[in-house]
Amino acid sequence: MHDHNHHAHSNLRGKKLILTIFLNLLITVVQILGAIFANSLALLSDAFHNFSDTSSLFLSYIANRLTRRKSTKDQTFGYKRAEIIAAFINSSILLIVGALLIYESIERIIYSSDAEVNAILVMSMAAFSILANGLSVLILKRDAKENMNIRSSYLHLFTDMLSSIAVLLGGLAIYFFNLTIVDPILSIAIAIYLMIFGWKLVIQSLKVLMQFTPPGIDMEAIANDLSEFKEVKNIHHGHLWQLTDHEYMFEAHIDFEKDIPISAACSIMKNMRIHLSKKYNIHHTTFQPEFGGSCNSDLIHQDMVNL
């Protein structure tokens, strides 16, 4: 039932991504044409941002498709990490795009601060982008809360919607006050905002790829909980990591107080798994039962490599 629900959600997410891809392709084409005729760097920046959105959405869609593939003897976890990798790439693209926008905006301020900008056209294109991006944001909003891959695309779309609002305000400033310098300044503000969101997601996805302990789960608390079982002497050589957004993996060596039968040890470890599943949402555990055979009782085992 769990697998069926997972695939059903995955299929629905895929359809939503396809819809947002078409919407953003339309926005990109319209804004590039509008930027050329309006001579607006902010609008052109917004268009390139939308193009990066389209690329990120397509990458998210491919990753979403890959996660549906079954595990094999060569890929024992299947392609479950594909969406995390996509989130990392997409958020890295946000940083690159942001840096390029800042560079282009500074050039405009230095060399072309008096460039004429068609404010009416800028505002029209920005309004169109706000509506289309707003629709895309609504389409992905719910899934963005549960999936890092979708969240990376959602952030692309959400920041672009905000940047389009900034472009619209810039068009108003140009139209009423002839403040053409507002155009590149707003572009810099958009880029900085973009990079802040991108950096956060880069770190978040990188931590998953590096198999760091998932946020909000305390290894010491888990060890203390498992040590409450009266048959357990010590929990050591533990590892806790995140396979996907919501799949947590835990493994540890369990040092028992007495030399008990395997059947008894399995029964105790089964109760441990139930406890971890209910309290910490950890559904994949690997325990190694031991009795008097370990000389290292540290929860975190430091692997030593002989060079």
CATH class of 2-209: mainly alpha
Residues with Cβ within 8 Å of 51's Cβ and at least 6 positions away in sequence, in order, are 24, 28
pLDDT-derived band at 10, boundaries 50, 70, 90: low
> Mean pLDDT across the chain, nearest whole number?
83
Task: Tell me where in the chain the CATH 1.20.1510.10 domain(s) lie.
Answer: 2-209
The pTM is what? Answer: 0.75
Task: Tell me where in the chain the CATH 3.30.70.1350 domain(s) lie.
Answer: 219-290
- Where do the DSSP E strands lie in the chain? 232-242, 248-256, 284-290
* Rounded Cα distance, 48 and 190, in Å: 12
Residue 2 has pLDDT above 60, yes or no: no
CATH superfamily of 219-290: Cation efflux protein, cytoplasmic domain (3.30.70.1350)
Q: Report which of 149, 123, 118, 125 is spatially closest to residue 56, judged by C-alpha positions.
A: 149
Taking only the tens place, the pLDDT of each residue in 219-252 is 999 999 999 999 999 999 999 999 888 889 999 9
pLDDT of residue 11: 66
Taking only the tens place, the pLDDT of each residue in 296-305 is 678 887 665 4
The answer to whether residues 229 and 271 touch, using CB atoms and an 8 Å cutoff, is yes
Residue 184 has pLDDT above 60, yes or no: yes
Taking only the tens place, the pLDDT of each residue in 19-54 is 888 888 888 888 888 888 877 776 777 777 777 778
Residues with Cβ within 8 Å of 159's Cβ and at least 6 positions away in sequence, in order, are 49, 94, 190, 193, 194, 197
* DSSP labels, 19-32: HHHHHHHHHHHHHH
pLDDT winner (highest mean) among 72-81, 167-176, 257-266:
257-266
pLDDT winner (highest mean) among 94-103, 126-135, 249-258:
249-258
**Alpha carbon distances (Å) from 227 to 218, 252, 257, 268, 287:** 14, 12, 11, 12, 13
Dihedral (CA of 115, 125, 187, 181) sign = positive
